[in-house]
């Protein structure tokens, strides 16, 4: 066991917790939050390396991972506007379940009994959070009805897990700094491009996006 790795993980969890609180309290659109968040992260990491860090964002895996990361952050940010912070943190516990599933499917890792137990606990915990005490009064079919699930948070978790799996594959040929900075750059670039397109194309483009988003939110939430 590496204590430095544990320290890095604790630091990452603390940073994500502070970020969730900031997003919940900020009066900004999801796209602006994603843009500022990732541009700031890229700047501070680059500053930490004395602006000498070089990375390539246009490799196929980098582009794919950037797409998953951008989708995940957008979905998570939108969800934070409609769920309590406690609910979002608890729903985030489904993350290991999705990551283990994708690791077995894509990376061909073995599914040990410990991992199977982790998946079972994650599923039970998520259902308990979603339904509360009424979970024990529901039939199995009712538990898994799609309309009763918080779809946006689960889609965000899947996107984050897919991004992590791609990062694992990229680390075989690239440095951690390259892998980390490329996703910050691509996510900021994607959010910035969307904001610019919304500004350039004016009210028509904006109205279509607002109507589509509101329709989806009415169905899901």
Percent of the chain with pLDDT over 90: 0
Residue 101: pLDDT above 70? yes
Mean pLDDT, range 173-200, rounded to an integer: 80
Cβ contact 187:40 at 8 Å = no
Size of the chain, expressed as the number of residues it contains: 221
User: Which alpha helices (DSSP H) does 49-150 contain, by range?
Assistant: 60-80, 85-91, 95-106, 113-131, 140-143
181, two tokens:
């900075």
Give residue-wise pLDDT tens across range 137-176: 555 454 444 445 577 888 888 898 898 888 888 888 877 7
**How sure is the predictor about 126, in pLDDT bands with cuts at 50, 70 and 90?**
low
Cβ contact 105:112 at 8 Å = no
Longest Cα separation, the chain: 59
The predicted structure's pLDDT at residue 81: 74
As a whole number of Å, the CA-based R_g of the chain is 19
The predicted structure's pLDDT at residue 92: 76
Chain position carrying tokens 């990229």:
170
Residue 127: pLDDT above 50? yes
Q: Please tell me what DSSP assigns to residue 171.
A: T
**How sure is the predictor about 190, in pLDDT bands with cuts at 50, 70 and 90?**
confident
Q: Which residues of 140-178 are buried (b: 16+ CB within 10 A; e: fewer)?
A: eeeeeeeeeebbbbbbbbbbbbbbbbbbbebeeebeeeb
Q: Measure the CA–CA gap between 189 and 184, rounded to whole angstroms.
A: 8
Percent of the chain with pLDDT over 70: 67
The predicted structure's pLDDT at residue 182: 80
Cβ contact 149:130 at 8 Å = yes
| Residue ranges of domains in the chain | 3-220
Residue (of 26, 158, 18, 145) closest to 92 by Cα position: 158
Choice between 4 and 60, residue whose per-residue pLDDT is larger: 60
């Amino acid at each position: 066991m590496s204590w430095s790795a544990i320290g890095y993980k604790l630091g990452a969890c603390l940073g994500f917790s502070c970020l969730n609180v900031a997003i919940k309290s900020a009066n900004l659109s999801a796209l602006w939050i994603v843009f500022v968040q990732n541009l700031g992260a890229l700047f501070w990491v680059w500053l930490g390396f004395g602006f000498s860090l070089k990375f390539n964002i246009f490799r196929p895996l980098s582009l794919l991972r950037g797409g998953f990361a951008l989708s995940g952050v957008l979905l998570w940010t939108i969800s934070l506007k409609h769920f309590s912070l406690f609910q979002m943190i608890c729903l985030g516990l489904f993350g290991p379940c999705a990551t283990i599933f994708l690791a077995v499917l894509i990376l061909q890792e073995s599914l040990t009994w410990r991992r199977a137990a982790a998946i079972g606990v994650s599923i039970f915990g998520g259902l308990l959070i979603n339904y509360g005490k009424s979970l024990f009064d529901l039939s199995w079919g009712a538990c898994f009805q799609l309309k009763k699930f918080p779809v946006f948070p689960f889609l965000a978790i899947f996107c984050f897990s897919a991004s992590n799996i791609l990062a694992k594959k990229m680390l075989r040929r690239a440095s951690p700094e390259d892998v980390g900075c490329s996703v910050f750059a691509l996510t900021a670039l994607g959010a910035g491009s969307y904001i610019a397109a919304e500004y350039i194309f004016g009210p028509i483009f904006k109205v279509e996006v607002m109507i589509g988003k509101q329709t989806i939110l009415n169905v899901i939430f």
